[in-house]
Amino acid sequence: MMTKIKDNWLTILLTIVVIISLVLSGIVWVNPYRTDHRFFGDNTSSSNKQMTTQSMRDIYLPTQVIRTGSNQGQHLLYGQPKNTVLTARQSIEKWRLRRLTRIESGRPNNYLNYLRLNNSVMLSYPQSVPMTIFNDSFNQNLNYNSLGKINHIVIPLDHSNRINRIYLLSDDNYRVFRVKVSYANIKAIRQSLRGGSSISVDHKIYRGHPIVTYPHGVKLPNFGYQISKLNPDSVSQTLMSSSNKSSSVTSKQENNQIVYQSGTSRQLVFSPAKGTIDYENYVGHTDQFNYQQIFGHLYNQLAGTSIPLDSLRFDAYSSKNESITYRSFVEGFPIFNENGYGTVQMQNNSDGAERYHFSIYSLQVPIPVKNKTTTLPSSAVVFNGLRSSNKVKDISGMRIGYRWKNDQNSKTVTLTPTYYLKYRGNWVDYETLMN
């Protein structure tokens, strides 16, 4: 027996290695939860990278997870081993949601109590989304005539693993709707809340707007990434040739920009200095989409571009020009850059022209960073510092975001956390406003 083992030791060892590899691969394939791109500065840790193009139901998922305890103490969660949002979706799409009933409206203090509902977990969108988007993402069929838009999904964490209701909240006029639920098992959702990290937060009504505040100093990890670049020539071919085969794409240098044209209706302008692309398509007519439809239409337009979608999420909708901003997120936190890196803006042809604005840069492989964490002051310190300059009156929102800063070699980027304040309708770094 020992002689046979000695003679075939290499074959046996190779067989064992193959079996271990198959087992590990199986674990990766059956675990759908960990899809965020994160890196905590530890050389031994990395994240699974989502390689497939995100569907509409993916890109419009909530981005923020807040757990509320028994005394209304709230914590914003991030870095959980199992992605809570995806786990919640896998659970909710098996439930039967019915009897959408309005139970609160127009009363800020009562609305605040539901934002802080004891023993619950809340999934929040960066901005309100149509009920049709909620239905699509969670495989439901709720009537949007009663509730046209929602901001938050509140799931009670009762002592048992089964619940009979959830709450859908709309910041618009402080409306709360109770939804009856059948076959609702929350065991997987409970398990997804374990591990990871959290930040102490609290909801407030500030100048008529519900916002998340940070009562204590916040310490968050920095991230490092390699970046990839789109080829403007390839982008122009994708956007301008596929549906206009009779016209060729031409290019010319103009005022430090490269201008691509196809016929008289399509134009793409690439700015090498900023790394941004502006695309216009004069379609010759106006497409009419209502609020429930426009999100689906603009996603279809986005999916037809060459833009990598794996880190993008819905961030904002503007009814004024019928446009949607999609933004890169890391661990549920939005990413900002003064040149718009990591951001895509898609505008409907409400005036006869479709317009897209985006960057050629996108985040790819996580890398180590020298400074592993950044500490931020409390919300009170920030707002007190802004009162002296009389800027507080123009602030309508607050959020933690990651600042995209290119490193010297331009092939890597460092993401550092900071506060962003919605100042006169735009998200501005709090340090900029303080100076």
> Is the pLDDT confidence value at 34 over 80?
no
Alpha-carbon distance values, 192 to 35, 69, 72, 320, 330 (Å): 13, 16, 20, 38, 18
Residue type, 56: M
Least confident segment among 74-83, 95-104, 314-323, 345-354? 345-354
Per-residue pLDDT tens digits for 233-280: 999 988 887 555 556 888 899 989 999 998 888 999 999 989 999 999
In the Cβ-directed half-sphere of 259, how many Cα atoms lie within 13 Å?
11
> Is the pLDDT confidence value at 25 over 90?
no
Contact 366, 223 (CB under 8 A): yes
Angle, in degrees to the nearest 10, between helices 131-138 and 291-303: 50
* Residue 247 CB contacts under 8 Å (≥ 6 apart), including other chains: 262, 263, 266
Contact 335, 415 (CB under 8 A): yes
Percent with pLDDT over 70 in the chain: 86
What pLDDT, on a 0 to 100 scale, did the predictor assign at position 138? 97
How far apart CA 305 and CA 346 sit, in angstroms, is 11
The DSSP letter of residue 322 is T
What pLDDT, on a 0 to 100 scale, did the predictor assign at position 71? 86
What element of type H or E holds 250?
strand 249-254
Residue type, 52: T
Stretch 75-79: mean pLDDT, rounded? 96
> Is the pLDDT confidence value at 133 over 70?
yes
In the Cβ-directed half-sphere of 158, how many Cα atoms lie within 13 Å?
10
> Is the pLDDT confidence value at 51 over 50?
no
How far apart CA 231 and CA 360 sit, in angstroms, is 7
> Is the pLDDT confidence value at 361 over 50?
yes
For residue 139 the two structure tokens come to: 């495989």
What pLDDT, on a 0 to 100 scale, did the predictor assign at position 351? 76
How far apart CA 81 and CA 326 sit, in angstroms, is 25
What pLDDT, on a 0 to 100 scale, did the predictor assign at position 27? 36
Task: Give the dihedral sign, CA 368/371/372/375.
Answer: negative
Beta strands in 58-148 (DSSP E): 64-68, 74-78, 96-104, 120-130
Residue of 333, 372, 293, 322 whose CA lies nearest to 79? 333
Stretch 146-171: mean pLDDT, rounded? 93
How far apart CA 250 and CA 263 sit, in angstroms, is 9
pLDDT-derived band at 402 (thresholds 50, 70, 90) equals: very high
Contact 374, 416 (CB under 8 A): yes
Alpha-carbon distance values, 92 to 33, 130, 336, 390 (Å): 15, 17, 31, 45
Per-residue pLDDT tens digits for 189-235: 999 999 999 999 999 999 889 999 999 989 999 999 999 899 999 99
Stretch 357-371: mean pLDDT, rounded? 88
What element of type H or E holds 279?
strand 276-282
> Is the pLDDT confidence value at 9 over 90?
no
pLDDT-derived band at 353 (thresholds 50, 70, 90) equals: confident
The DSSP letter of residue 49 is P
What pLDDT, on a 0 to 100 scale, did the predictor assign at position 45? 32
Entry field: residues in the chain: 435
How far apart CA 401 and CA 398 sit, in angstroms, is 10
pTM of the predicted model, to two decimals? Answer: 0.86
